[in-house]
Every structure is written in structure tokens, then in C-alpha cells.
């Protein structure tokens, strides 16, 4: 696999996403303009766009139409952005900086940030309902169902609830893993399937393998996030009360140690590759993305 080629593809995908998100989000010239401004502020011009890339890479496996993938990827990124906006608020992690900019509640105000997150979540589902994403309406309904599960109390929001409850407590490794499979993993896992469902109908076995890939990559993403946090001496920047709360949260590095956490991430990467072994070269972007996620430096 050619890393230069992957870098070019990821840059192109990020540029395509920026344009698509700009079009999919309501204009700030439309009322209520402050809310629309806050939604655009929270989504545009920032982030690695890992989840959209997973949607596009999943779609390559099923030869999906890029226009459909842009809508599905836009919906996924809006949910991700909403989760960050709410996560940064004083009632949760209380952070003042995100993606090098003031967090949404700091730039606007708490009520606007809350509403921006709410409206981004609604808009994501509206996009999935308004646009044709599969030739088969039953598959499109399935996409919306799996996505709703990934976002809700049995997915990301549930994982966040478990995470908040864990502050100051000790979790076992299986408990930590369960929390992260929901909090960070569910959306990443759903991204791959959302992309794959935009193309030709997939066999159940293919979907199972893609889901296993997504589960491994979703968990690896969080393990690497913990490793990067541990290794970074800049984590105190832009943090307030959330800093103390976060310091009291169990992480892979605090439970396993740094070297075993790095080894675990590599094991998950090997499992992700194993899950794709029956796929042809059309899964190469998924393979490269798994490598990128595990070997990233931010």
C-alpha cells in the first residue's frame, strides 16, 4: 500500500467533506442566524474527518455513489460534532478549547451550544431520511435504524453516561472496554456500515466482517487516544474543571500501562486486518485507515 497515495486520498476526502458539509448545513443568513452560525462553527473548519473517511472507504467496498456517501458521511460528522459540543459543556467535561478554537459554549453561550448540538443531531437524521442513499428503501431504513442505535443510549450517549458515572471510580478492563465500545466505538463502527450500505446490497457475511473491522478500529481509536493523551504534555492547555474530572477517569494507559496499551492497539489493528482478509483491493482504503488510526500522532 502506498502511503503517499493514502495521504492524497484522505486530503481529497477531507476537502470534499468540507464542501459537502458547507452545503448541507443551514446558512447563517437564515433565521435563527445565531443558532445556524453556532452549528456551522461547530462542524466546519476542523477535525481529522476520520468518520467521514470511514464512510467513504466502506462505500468503496460496495461501489457506492460518492454523492450518496457525502450525505451519509455528512450525517455522521454532524453527530460527531454535536457529541463534541455537548461533551465540552460545563455539565460534562467543561473544556474551553476544541480543535484549536474556543469551544461552542465559550464562543456563543451555553444555551446556544446545547441547541446547536440538538439541531445537528436532528439535521443528521433528516438528511438520512430526505436523500436516497440506497436503491432499496428497506436497506435505507436499516441504515437509519443502525445509526440511531449507534447514537443513542445503547451507543454513544450510553457510553458517555457510563463514562461520566465512572469519574473517581475504578473500572475493570472489561468495563472500560464496554464503555469505549459504546462511547467512541459505536459511531466509528456505524460509519463503516453506513458507507457499505450506500452501494450494492451486501451479503450478511460481508457485513459481519465489516462490523468486526469497525469494532476493532473503534476500540483502537480510543486506546490510541489514551496513549496520545498520556504522552502529550500539552493536555493541560485549554482545560478547566474538566481537567480534574478527566484526570480522575480510568483510561487504557492508567489500567494497563503505556507499553501494554500500545501493544493492545497493535493487536486490534491485526484483528481489523484479519476481518478484511476476504475482501479484494476495494477494501484497501479501510486497511490504510486502520493503519492511520493506530499510528496517528494526534
Identify each DSSP E strand in 38-115 by its residue range: 97-98, 101-102
**Which residue's CB is nearer to ligand GRG, number 156 or number 210?**
156
**Which residue's CB is nearer to ligand GRG, number 140 or number 177?**
177
**Which residue's CB is nearer to ligand GRG, number 225 or number 284?**
225
Smallest separation, CB 201 to ligand GRG (Å)? 30
Footprint on this chain of ligand GRG (rule: CB under 6 A): 47-48, 50, 80, 83-84, 86-87, 99, 156-157, 160, 183-184, 222, 225
Residue nearest to ligand GRG (CB): 47
Angle between helices 66-87 and 50-61 (to 10 degrees): 150
Smallest separation, CB 238 to ligand GRG (Å)? 12
**Which residue's CB is nearer to ligand GRG, number 57 or number 202?**
57
Smallest separation, CB 93 to ligand GRG (Å)? 7
Per-state percent for the chain, helix, strand, coil, to nearest 5: 70, 0, 25
- Cα 80 from Cα 55, distance rounded (Å): 13
**Which residue's CB is nearer to ligand GRG, number 76 or number 202?**
76
- Cα 63 from Cα 60, distance rounded (Å): 5
Q: Strand, helix or coil at 1?
A: coil
- Cα 231 from Cα 255, distance rounded (Å): 15
Smallest separation, CB 134 to ligand GRG (Å)? 26
C-alpha distance from residue 103 to each of 37, 110, 118, 242 (Å) = 13, 10, 16, 13
Smallest separation, CB 84 to ligand GRG (Å)? 6
Amino acid at each position: 500500500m502506498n502511503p503517499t497515495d493514502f495521504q492524497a486520498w484522505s486530503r481529497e476526502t477531507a476537502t470534499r467533506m468540507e464542501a459537502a458539509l458547507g452545503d448541507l448545513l443551514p446558512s447563517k443568513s437564515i433565521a435563527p442566524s445565531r443558532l445556524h452560525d453556532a452549528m456551522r462553527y461547530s462542524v466546519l473548519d476542523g477535525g481529522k474527518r476520520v468518520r467521514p473517511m470511514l464512510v467513504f472507504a466502506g462505500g468503496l467496498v460496495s461501489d457506492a455513489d460518492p454523492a450518496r456517501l457525502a450525505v451519509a458521511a455528512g450525517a455522521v460528522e454532524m453527530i460527531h460534532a454535536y457529541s463534541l459540543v455537548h461533551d465540552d459543556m460545563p455539565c460534562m467535561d467543561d473544556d474551553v478549547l476544541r480543535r484549536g478554537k474556543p469551544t461552542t459554549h465559550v464562543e456563543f453561550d451555553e444555551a446556544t451550544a446545547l441547541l446547536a448540538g440538538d439541531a445537528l443531531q436532528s439535521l443528521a437524521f433528516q438528511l438520512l431520511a430526505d436523500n436516497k442513499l440506497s436503491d432499496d428503501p428497506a436497506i435505507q431504513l436499516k441504515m437509519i435504524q443502525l445509526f440511531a442505535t449507534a447514537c443513542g443510549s445503547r451507543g454513544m450517549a450510553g457510553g458517555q453516561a457510563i463514562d461520566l458515572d465512572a469519574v473517581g471510580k475504578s473500572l475493570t478492563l472489561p468495563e472500560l472496554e464496554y464503555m469505549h465500545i459504546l462511547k467512541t466505538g459505536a459511531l466509528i463502527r456505524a460509519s463503516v456500515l453506513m458507507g457499505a450500505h450506500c452501494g450494492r446490497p451486501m451479503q450478511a457475511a460481508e457485513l459481519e466482517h465489516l462490523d468486526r473491522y469497525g469494532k476493532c478500529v473503534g476500540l483502537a481509536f480510543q486506546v490510541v487516544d489514551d496513549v496520545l493523551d498520556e504522552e502529550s504534555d500539552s493536555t493541560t492547555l485549554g482545560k478547566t474543571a474538566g481537567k480534574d474530572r478527566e484526570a480522575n477517569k480510568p483510561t487504557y494507559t492508567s489500567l494497563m500501562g503505556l507499553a501494554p496499551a500500545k501493544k493492545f492497539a497493535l493487536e486490534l489493528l491485526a484483528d481489523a486486518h484479519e476481518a478484511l482478509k476476504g475482501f479484494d483491493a476495494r477494501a484497501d482504503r479501510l486497511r490504510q485507515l486502520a493503519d492511520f488510526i493506530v499510528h496517528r500522532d494526534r
